[in-house]
Amino acid sequence: MQQTMAEKILARAAAKKSVAPGELISARVDMALGNDITAPVAIQEFAKIGVEAVFDRERIALIPDHFTPSKDIKTAQQVQLMRQFARKHGIAHYYEVGRMGIEHALLPELGLVLPGDVVIGADSHTCTYGALGAFATGVGSTDLAAVMATGEIWFKVPPTVRLVFEGHPRPWVSGKDFILYAIGQLGVDGARYTALEFTGPAIENLDMDGRFTVSNMAIEAGAKVGLIPPDEVTGRYLQGRARRPYQFITGDDGAPVQEEHRWDVSELEPQVACPFSPANTRPVSEVAGTPLDQVVIGSCTNGRIEDLRQAARFLEGKKVHPRVRLIVIPATQAVYLQALREGLLEIFTLAEAAVSTPTCGPCLGGHMGILAEEETALATTNRNFVGRMGHPKSKVYLAGPAVAAASAVAGCIAPPEETVEVS
């Protein structure tokens, strides 16, 4: 029986020879994670179950990243609850200020999520790890509690929708533009409870940072997971990182899929998602000139080193427009340190940007860049719903780091200058 990549991973985790879309299964979990919003609820629910220990102290990660460093007493207490639970149960992977990072950048960086894994996280953007070839999906806090106790979770096996990206992208066009375009074509529920599988030459030519960006936003089309078949690029990334053995699992040739879409990205412009939906996408040329008050470069979507390098290539020798606040947030401590070594932080600082310690912060309207009434921001984050970054009468546009950097300098949404040399 020919099976898709998602079906083969779930069959392995369920100890079955094969599974089929719509089938209910119980799967063994390879890694479970929670953050400072979701883990405290899971910890409280775990206490109600009555078990004395977690299923495996090495396969749970607790990462306070949404309000990091804690912005007030309430958030400090949330983190305190996580810290105490981690110490009580000997959780090996608890990462706090100074050692932490945004969870969906940190776990791959540390080699804790791997190809062929089943990963659940009490955060919707857990689908990021699909870039490594893992079946990774977001769950609720009560589900996380049950997994921490049992190491298992039930799934309905999703059908697969394959997205094939062909052609060679223009300068400044990145994985963020691929996924924004795809969401614009599919809609926010066009892939509801499916396994999106991203393939084609344009995907194969992306580095891992670009692939993480693509998989990260699969949920914005309603998908359960966003998978990219592992290959040599994946293997190079994992060399020296992987904490345990792993297996590349790919789909069988000819395995049936629910739908297949093909897009040639050769003429694709950088994309911008307009308020108030990630699916409300436009080519940057159609929204150029929209005045901005704030630009944010960072998040689990675009806070990795290649994202910062791309922004720095445009910002070097320039100044942020005096009307605009530019906030740059490296996704992890390691990314921060690498950016420091490469002189990127100096470029941002000389451009008059503010550089933050790793945090989700402004992405969810947490802190480090809250919008006031009637303010407009452009961000490299993943959502732009009403009130997402602050006041319900504020607006958020989404784009990649090149458009974000260009717009910070221009004072309005602006296409990157393609005359700038791109190495």
| CA of residue 382 relative to chain centroid, distance | 8
Residues 314-332, mean pLDDT to the nearest whole number: 97
Report percent pLDDT > 70 for the chain: 99
Q: Can you give the pLDDT at residue 1?
A: 84
* Distance, CA of 400 to CA of 180 (rounded, Å): 9
Is 5-245+258-262 a domain of CATH 3.30.499.10?
Answer: yes
Is 272-410 a domain of CATH 1.20.1600.10?
Answer: no
Q: How confident is the model at residue 421 (pLDDT cuts 50, 70, 90)?
A: very low
Q: How confident is the model at residue 322 (pLDDT cuts 50, 70, 90)?
A: very high
Length of the chain: 423
Which helix (DSSP H) or strand (DSSP E) does residue 45 occupy?
helix 39-49
- For residues 96-111, b (16+ Cβ closer than 10 Å) or e, as one string? beeebbbbbbbbbbbb
Residue 68 or residue 193, greater confidence: 193
Q: Each residue of 40-92: pLDDT tens digit? A: 999 999 999 999 999 999 999 999 999 989 999 999 999 999 999 999 999 99
Residues 316-332, mean pLDDT to the nearest whole number: 97
Query: Sign of dihedral through CA atoms 222, 228, 64, 344?
Result: negative
Domain with CATH 3.30.499.10 in the chain: 5-245+258-262, 272-410
Q: Each residue of 201-244: pLDDT tens digit? A: 999 999 999 999 999 999 999 999 999 999 999 999 999 999 99
Residues 292 and 376 sit within 8 Å (Cβ to Cβ): yes
* Distance, CA of 415 to CA of 418 (rounded, Å): 8
Q: Can you give the pLDDT at residue 124?
A: 96
Q: Using the predicted structure, report yes or no on whether residue 417 has a pLDDT greater than 80.
A: no
Q: Using the predicted structure, report yes or no on whether residue 423 has a pLDDT greater than 60.
A: no
What spatial distance separates the first Cα and last Cα of the chain, rounded to whole Å? Answer: 45
Q: Each residue of 389-400: pLDDT tens digit? A: 999 999 999 999
Q: Each residue of 145-159: pLDDT tens digit? A: 999 999 999 999 999
Q: Using the predicted structure, report yes or no on whether residue 281 has a pLDDT greater than 90.
A: yes
